Structure formats: structure tokens, C-alpha cells
């Protein structure tokens, strides 16, 4: 039987929060699309007048976008390394 999740647990591990945002749309984005949106997220986070809740949602989306960009860059680096190894 799984232990009941508390609010403190959700803060420590937001991926398990019942209200965790769904960013499935990010998975289909190209690097350029995700990077462009991430730039907009950063600009939104720099707004000192933004409500805290909006800022937290932007932060979560930014984290997801940054992770997606990093995954694409890692895959590109691995592909280049494999090609270099083949040609050596």
C-alpha cells in the first residue's frame, strides 16, 4: 500500500504532486521552438510585478523546456560522437 503524499512531499518532489502540470506539448517541439519559448519564459520571470502563482507556473514550464532542449542537445552530441568514431 502506497503512503499518502503530504503537501511537504509534493514540494520536495513536485513530479509526484497531484496538480503537477502536464507539458506533453513540449515533447513535440523542435529545439528552436523550445528555446524561443524558453526565452519568453525567462522574460516573464524577470517581471517583478508578476503574481507568485504565475511565476511558479512559468518556472515549471521553463524547467520542462530547458530539460527538453538539453535532451535534444545531448542526442545531437551523441550522434556527432558516433559519426566521428565511425570515420576514425
Please report the pLDDT score of residue 1 as a whole number.
Answer: 44
C-alpha cell at 15: 513530479
| CB neighbour class for 68 (10 Å; exposed up to 12, middle 13-18, buried from 19) | buried
Q: Classify 42 as helix, strand or coil.
A: helix
pTM of the complete model beyond 0.95: no
What is the pLDDT at residue 32? 98
- CA–CA dist 16, 80 (Å, integer): 35
Structural Rg of the chain based on CA atoms: 17
**What is the block-wise mean pLDDT of the chain (88 residues), using blocks of 10 residues?**
45 51 93 98 97 97 98 98 92
Q: What are the structural domains of the chain?
A: 26-86 (1.10.287)
Amino acid at each position: 500500500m502506497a503512503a499518502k503524499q503530504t503537501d511537504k512531499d509534493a514540494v520536495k518532489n513536485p513530479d509526484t504532486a497531484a496538480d503537477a502540470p502536464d507539458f506533453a506539448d513540449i515533447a513535440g517541439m523542435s529545439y528552436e521552438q523550445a528555446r524561443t519559448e524558453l526565452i519568453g519564459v525567462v522574460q516573464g520571470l524577470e517581471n517583478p510585478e508578476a503574481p507568485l502563482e504565475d511565476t511558479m507556473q512559468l518556472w515549471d514550464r521553463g524547467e520542462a523546456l530547458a530539460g527538453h532542449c538539453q535532451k535534444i542537445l545531448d542526442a545531437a552530441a551523441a550522434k556527432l560522437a558516433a559519426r566521428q568514431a565511425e570515420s576514425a
